[in-house]
Amino acid sequence: MIVVANRISIAKGHEASFEERFRGRAGLVDQSPGFIRNEVLRPIRGQPYIVKTYWKDLQSFEAWTKSESFHKAHADPPPAEMFAGPNVLEIHEVFETTETG
């Protein structure tokens, strides 16, 4: 499994607008082959927000980034002043996981 984390620093005062954009998203990624789930983490202290998507494998994520649905999902970018700095994209492979049941 692959986890893609996009660390997004949001400018003070734009938090509600940023969150509303995610609540109103089209959800196109959810239908992508290999997609498992999406999480948006709100910072409790400091920055950044973290958007995490979970994928069956790296090829599934890469196919999403080249798809028409990806381009549609990112066709209406937020205003530049919403951001406090550049986004940082990280891709990790899950090699171990535990859960309580």
Domains of the chain, by residue range, sit at 2-93
What confidence tens digit (pLDDT) does each residue in 12-44 have? 999 999 999 988 877 889 999 999 999 999 999
Residue-level pLDDT at 101: 82
Q: Which CATH class is domain 2-93?
A: alpha beta
To which H or E segment does residue 2 belong?
A: strand 2-8
Average pLDDT over residues 82-92: 96
Q: What is the pTM of this model?
A: 0.90
Integer CA distances (angstroms), 91 to 55, 57, 94, 101, in order: 10, 11, 10, 27
Label residue 95 by pLDDT band (50, 70, 90). very high
Q: How far apart are CA 89 and CA 7, in angstroms?
A: 6
